[in-house]
């Protein structure tokens, strides 16, 4: 679930907790293999990367702390070997995966979650932390 640097075509001033929602469409096997190869080639440690065995769709997956959103030039200055070539890059920390993926419809960009979905997600997250 976790991407440390997440590329976007748009800027956000949001900082703090950001809930991560999966796409509505299942990823193609070719895309999955390409991404896995990309991250394997960038892995500079002896630690094995545990890639997901399944990719849920239309579900809330967890959250991260969004600590910054950099334009491409600033990103390349701070992270010369960075993994994104997008116009803007979200710098994320502290990934927290929900042990139960909450089915829900997503929207484009950053949006306000419905109150009942937000409360349910926080409860699932709290159970994970206990």
What is the count of structural domains for the chain?
1
pTM, two decimal places:
0.85
Q: What is the 3-state secondary structure (H, E, C) of the chain?
A: CCCCEEEECCCCCCCEEEEEECCCCCCCHHHHHHHHHHHHHHCCCCCCCCCCCCCCCCEEEEEEEEEEEEEHHHHHHHCCCCCCCCCEEEEEEEEEEEEEEEECCCCCCCCCCCHHHHHHHHHHHHHHHC
What digits encode the pLDDT tens for the residues 48-91?
Answer: 788 889 999 999 999 999 999 999 999 999 999 888 999 999 99
Domain that holds residue 12: 5-129
Beta-bridge partner residues of 71: 88
Closest to 41 (Cα-Cα) out of 90, 83, 95, 78: 83
What digits encode the pLDDT tens for the residues 110-124?
Answer: 999 999 999 999 999
């Amino acid at each position: 679930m976790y991407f440390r640097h997440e590329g976007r075509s748009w800027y956000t001033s949001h900082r703090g907790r950001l809930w991560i929602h999966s796409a509505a469409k299942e990823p193609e096997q070719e895309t999955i293999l390409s991404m896995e190869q990309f991250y394997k080639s960038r892995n500079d440690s002896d630690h094995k990367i545990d890639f997901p065995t399944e990719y849920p769709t239309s579900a809330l997956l967890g959250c991260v702390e969004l600590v910054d959103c950099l334009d491409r030039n600033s990103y390349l200055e701070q992270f010369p070997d960075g993994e994104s070539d997008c116009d803007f890059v979200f710098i994320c920390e502290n990934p927290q995966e929900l042990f139960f993926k909450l089915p829900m419809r997503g929207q484009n960009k950053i949006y306000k979650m419905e109150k009942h979905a937000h409360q349910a997600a926080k409860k699932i997250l709290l159970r994970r932390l206990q």
